Amino acid sequence: MVWTWRFEKADGSETAPAVEPEEFGLQADAESWIGEVWKELLDGGAERVTLFEDDTEIYRMSLSAAAEA
């Protein structure tokens, strides 16, 4: 199993991330990474991210909502 992130603009179109991700072997590692770099991703133009396990979408979340919290 490989865990990856997709980075999206507010309109849902895919965008290149400001911080280059890796492929993660564990969901927890992918989530820890996003927790460390979400601000840089948001500043770089990514508004939302989607987590995938192989080709299966697990969940989406807004990076801008995290900034408001």
pTM (2 d.p.): 0.90
Burial grade of 24 (CB within 10 A; 0-12, 13-18, 19 or more) = buried
Return the pLDDT at 66.
57
Question: CA-CA distance, 38 to 19, in Å (whole number)?
Answer: 9
Averaged pLDDT, 46-64: 96
pLDDT, tens digit, for every residue of 16-37?
Answer: 999 999 889 999 999 999 999 9
Averaged pLDDT, 41-48: 96
Sequence ranges of the domains in the chain: 3-68
Return the pLDDT at 49.
97
Question: CA-CA distance, 54 to 66, in Å (whole number)?
Answer: 25
